[in-house]
Amino acid sequence: MGRSPCCDQDKGVKKGPWVPEEDDKLTAYIEKNGYGNWRSLPKLAGLNRCGKSCRLRWMNYLRPDIRRGEFSDEEESTIVRLHALLGNKWSKIASHLPGRTDNEIKNYWNTHMRKKMLQMGIDPITHEPRTNDLSPILDVSQILAAAIGNGQFGSSNLINNNIALEDLLKLQLIHKMLQIITPKAIPNITSSTNSLNPKLDSVVNSFTTNSVNPKPEQAAIQLNANEPHDFINQSANEDFMMPPFENIWDSFEDNQLPGLVTVSQKNLNSGTGMMPGYYGDQLSEIPSNGSISVSPETSGLNYPGTTQHLTGSDVLEDWEKFLDDETSDSCWKSFLDLTSPTSSPGPW
DNA sequence: AAAGCTCTCAACCGCAGTGGT
DNA sequence: GACCACTGCGGTTGAGAGCTT
């Protein structure tokens, strides 16, 4: 429509907070004449304001039926109900709350109720429980990052402790998977440790990219083709630094996860233990329609014991089975024990 | 006590909708 | 149907009050 703003032709009109004299003038005029033509009202009322500003002041502040003060519990629940129904239609919500203005409700929502809902774990937009609230899992990652950062992994303790390395890799794996599922909710972990030990890095890589899940010892032997290294029996005095968290994973291509890290003694011995949702060492993304289209032919890999999944729910079912499976039971039990706040202190 | 930070909310801005010509 | 005037709405801003360090 290309219309100029209402105040353009009222050059020199006052802006900003209203003073009591202005309020009095506006109130007196409207009480005597009523309101109708906001554009001409300021002149008639003797105000150096634009009509829009006068209307807003009257509607949001001076109107005699304005109700001030705290919102009652009943008003709050009405707002929540109506917001769930109408969204940010503040004027419509206000029409159900006598004496409250759209501006007041909007402000109250943005400053109080939004916060309250977030604290309750409810998404203030959808009014659904927040499914992306992964703070407990993030905490695990934070523990890991802190452990790496404060140097607890910077000693040979880790090297002499396969359990610790296993647990570390489990954490990494979970973190990476969560990043793929909800990349926005799971940020990259940045470690304060910047010096990357290429030896250990290659160990971790061979560990995690090997689809047959080698024992840590085997991985250590493969550490460097040109320079075989006794990783496990490395001297306690040798300065080993854990690679920054993200470096371990940056070596993988997008949407591609490594083969499963050894998860239990049983798996260790059998060399099995593929995670559901994997096609060999390829993880296919679950598209929005829930169906997956990766064939073993295209991936070139097909491992015994893995299922071909057609839908996202298949993958989830397999995950459930995997998590319930006694073969992985000990792995997850020890992992959960390790990360539980009530557990005895772990390797970090 | 003072400086810095956070929070609140009145007011502004731009745009969409509506009705009149 | 095109244009214009006006109203109403929702997002955003910024001054000042309150709180923390």
Geometric angle at alpha carbon A273, from A268 and A276, rounded to 5°: 165
> pLDDT per residue over A260-301, tens digit each?
322 222 232 333 333 322 222 222 222 333 322 222 222 322
Tokens representing residue A165 in the block: 């390395």
Q: Which nucleotides of C are covered by protein (CB under 7 A)?
A: 4-12, 15
Is A52's CB less than 7 Å from nucleic acid strand C?
Answer: yes
Tokens representing residue A99 in the block: 């004496």
Identify the residue whose Cα has the smallest distance to the C1' of C5: A3
Cα–Cα nearest to A203, from A153, A256, A271, A141 = A153
Phi, psi of A283 (to 5 degrees): -105, 125
What does the alpha-carbon distance between residue A26 and residue A24 come to, in Å, rounded to a whole number? 5
> pLDDT per residue over A117-165, tens digit each?
887 888 888 887 765 545 544 545 555 555 554 444 444 444 445 555 5
Long-range contacts: A222-228, Cβ < 8 Å, 24+? A223/A199, A224/A199
Amino acid at A219: A
Q: Do A315 and A292 meet the contact criterion of CB atoms below 8 Å apart?
A: yes
With a CB cutoff of 8 Å and minimum separation 6, the contacts of A136 are none
The CA–C1' separation of A10 and B18, in angstroms, is 24
**What pLDDT sits at residue A18?**
92
Q: Do A348 and A140 meet the contact criterion of CB atoms below 8 Å apart?
A: no
The CA–C1' separation of A140 and B13, in angstroms, is 45
DSSP E strand stretches across A220-316 = 278-279, 282-283
The CA–C1' separation of A89 and C1, in angstroms, is 31
Q: Is the pLDDT of residue A35 over 90?
A: no
Q: Which of A115-124, A211-220, A247-256, A330-339 has the highest mean pLDDT?
A: A115-124
What does the alpha-carbon distance between residue A102 and residue A60 come to, in Å, rounded to a whole number? 8
What does the alpha-carbon distance between residue A277 and residue A256 come to, in Å, rounded to a whole number? 11
> pLDDT per residue over A222-263, tens digit each?
333 333 333 333 333 333 333 333 333 333 333 333 333 222
Q: Do A7 and A52 meet the contact criterion of CB atoms below 8 Å apart?
A: yes
What domains are defined for chain A?
Answer: 11-63 (1.10.10.60), 68-131 (1.10.10.60)
The CA–C1' separation of A297 and B16, in angstroms, is 55
What mean pLDDT is predicted for residues A318-326?
Answer: 41
**What pLDDT sits at residue A144?**
53
Is A15's CB less than 7 Å from nucleic acid strand C?
Answer: no
What does the alpha-carbon distance between residue A133 and residue A309 come to, in Å, rounded to a whole number? 27
- The whole-model pTM stands at 0.47
The CA–C1' separation of A6 and B14, in angstroms, is 11
- Dihedral class, residue A278 (left if φ above 0, else alpha if ψ from -120 to 50, else beta): beta
Q: Is the pLDDT of residue A16 over 60?
A: yes
What mean pLDDT is predicted for residues A330-346?
Answer: 41
Torsion of CA A216, A219, A221, A223, to 10 degrees: -130
**What pLDDT sits at residue A13?**
83
Confidence of residue A65 (pLDDT cuts 50, 70, 90): confident
- Comparison of pLDDT for A114 and A248, the residue scoring more: A114
Computed over every residue of chain A, the mean pLDDT equals 56
Identify the residue whose Cα has the smallest distance to the C1' of C4: A3
Q: Do A172 and A245 meet the contact criterion of CB atoms below 8 Å apart?
A: yes
